Structure 1
Amino acid sequence: MPSLYSFPDVDSLAKQLRKYVLINQNTALSRHGVFRIAVSGGSLPNTLAKALLAPGDGSAEDVAHFSKWEIFFADERAVPLDHPDSNYHLIKEELMEKIPANLGAPTVHPIDAGHVLDDDPTELADLYTEDLKRTFAAKDSVKLPVFDLILLGVGPDGHTCSLFPGHPQLREKDAWVVGVVDSPKPPPKRISLTLPVVTHAVSIAFVATGGGKKDILKRIFDTDEGHSLPSGLVNVHGADKVSWFSDDAATEGVSFPKRASL
């Protein structure tokens, strides 16, 4: 079963999110010397920055070694990299530009800016797949990439990444990245990691805050129908690899067992 954490406010959530991310970072660095993470957009970059840019406790375990991070995007909008809707622009503005120099700079993998205006985002998805293969399958053939951590948000319809309820991309079994031409929320053209890639990660975390999320969290955790929503499918297939970081406003009325700390 996934873990659902609920905190009084976003500040206390950010402290626990920092602990969680750095535990995953330290495990990855001890395993293979690099921390490969995929992130979504929305309010997530702001919460992530609040977590990671806060002063640490001074211990060796509580340091973000950004120079050893590789940041990918769980989904991205087919817009120029400096566009307000760009997830790359968001993470750059909220986090990367504010990292102290002594912590180093992460390696970031944006989409190919030369193809963002294509009518069909398939080429954009294929190029991002090639980027993933250079990282995860440079020496041999692998069925799926293995991210150390994927950080996700959830929409009011239960979508995550750019995988929307009822869309055919949700059923993709083989591709690593898919193009989307008809996102219900603008901009319509996007690319997204597929469900098998997301659930193949070592660790998966959702960040969902505010009273506007309580109805969808109740559907995802407390109803059978919620298990077939994109975020619910991540819960089903990711199982105990999945953690939800929420505030009390978002989990109000949710019957699923909640935890108060890691």
Structure 2
Amino acid sequence: MGKSPNVYSFPGVAEMAPTLRQYVLAQQTASIERHGTFRVAVSGGSLPKTLAQALLSKGDGSPADTVDFNKWEIFFADERCVPLDHEDSNYKLLKDELLSKIDKEQFGEPKVFPIEEKYLDDAQECADQYEKQLVSVFAARDSVKLPQFDLILLGCGPDGHTCSLFPEHPLLRETDAWILSISDSPKPPPKRITLSLPVVLHGAKIAFIATGAGKRDIFKQIFETEEGRALPCGLINEGAGDKVSWFTDNAALEGVSVPRRGSL
């Protein structure tokens, strides 16, 4: 690995939102200039709510501070094998917190790629079908070894898991597949699909959004210990270096030895 991840810390989520907005829109601008679209993968948990707080606020009206949802293509970094209207669905969470609240006349409408409900009974088939969606968007499989998302937005579990990649799980060793299935998730529901670690590491930019004093212990592990570097979040820090940014709050970093910033 080259440089270390960037860590941004704020008194609370409200104070974080403007900087998170600035960060996401900078990636939006760069991506649209690069290839005309902004391809984003998102996780669940508290992330959609925080993202909505950042993106749905009124900007200053300048092009650099305008969300252009018409150019967004939104995928899921992981998803639970449940119906799209189920309380455990990351799609439902994103829809409720963000998608349903977008002023489409003003900001446009993103293209969203949920899982297909007809494959819910078979996690592997669900993963295979979702991978086919990625192949159709990111080019033919024989010409692209890995898809490159412009931005991958992740959470961090209290055990250091991210997406549905769990500590010491065999899925962490997968090197070829883009989308993996898991049927024995340590957290319910057991059946899920997830981006593979190589796909996450290949992202142009990766951002973790994790806040609260409850994250303090796992942050100490990830940023201060060898064992923490072997956790899924630690592996992403190690493998992607300064492509990674952490957006967190002072409570989560209290007593944690890591250089932090308050602005981009």
Interval of TM-score (by shorter of Structure 1 and Structure 2): over 0.9
**Is 1:111 the counterpart of 2:93 in the alignment?**
no
Structure-2 residue corresponding to 1:67: 70
Match of 2:59 in 1: 56
Deviations 1:10-59 (A, max 9, x none): 01111111000000000000111100000000000000000000010121
Query: Partner of 1:56: helix, strand, or coil?
Result: coil
Which residue in the other structure is 1:186 paired with?
Answer: 188
Write out aligned runs for 1:94-243 (5 A): 94-101=97-104, 102-118=106-122, 121-138=123-140, 141-243=143-245
> 3-state DSSP class of the match of 1:169?
helix
| Secondary structure at the counterpart of residue 61 of structure 1 | helix
Corresponding residue for residue 92 of structure 1: 95
Relative to 1, partners in 2 of residues 1:9 and 1:129: Cα closer, same or farther, differing over 3 Å?
same
Residue deviations 1:119-157 (CA, integer Å, cap 9, x gap): xx1111110110000000149621000000000000000
Q: Give the distance between the partners of 1:224 and 1:166, measured in 2 at CA.
A: 14
Q: Deviations over 1:184-231 (max 9, x none)?
A: 111010000000000101000000101111110111001111100000
Structure 2 distance, partners of 1:92, 1:259, is 31
Q: Matched residue of 2:209: which SS?
A: strand
| Over 6 Å off, 4+ runs | none
Change (3 A) 1:139 1:167: closer
Report what 1:46 is aligned to: 49
Partner of 2:10: 7
Across the aligned residues of Structure 1 and Structure 2, the Cα RMSD in angstroms comes to: 0.9
Instruction: Quote the Cα distance in structure 2 between the aligned partners of 1:12 and 1:223.
Output: 29
Q: Distance in 2 between matches of 1:54 and 1:247?
A: 20
Letter of the 2:112 partner, please give it. V
For the residues of structure 1 that align with 2:257 and 2:21, how far apart are their CA atoms? 26
1:117 is displaced (CA, Å) by 2.4
Q: Quick one: which amino acid aligns to residue 156 of structure 1?
A: P
Task: Provide the rounded CA distance (Å) in 1 between the counterparts of 2:159 and 2:199.
Answer: 21
The reply on whether 1:32 has 2:35 as its aligned counterpart is: yes
Cα shift readout 1:102-128 (whole Å, capped 9, x = no counterpart): 21110000011101123xx11111101
- Letter of the aligned partner of 2:215 in structure 1? K
CA deviations on 1:64-87 (whole Å, 9 max, x unpaired) are 100110000000000000001000
Query: In percent, how many aligned pairs have the same letter?
Result: 63
TM-score normalised by structure 1 residue count: 0.98
**What is aligned with 2:81?**
78
Q: Secondary structure at the match of 2:65?
A: coil
TM-score (norm 2): 0.97
Look up the equivalent residue of 2:110 and give its one-letter code: P
Unaligned runs of 5+ in 2: none
Gaps of 5+ in 1: none
For 2:67 and 2:226, locate their aligned partners in 1 and report how far apart those are by CA, in whole Å.
39
- Report the equivalent of 2:20: 17
Letter in 2 for 1:160: T
Partner Cα distance (1:89, 1:141) in 2: 33
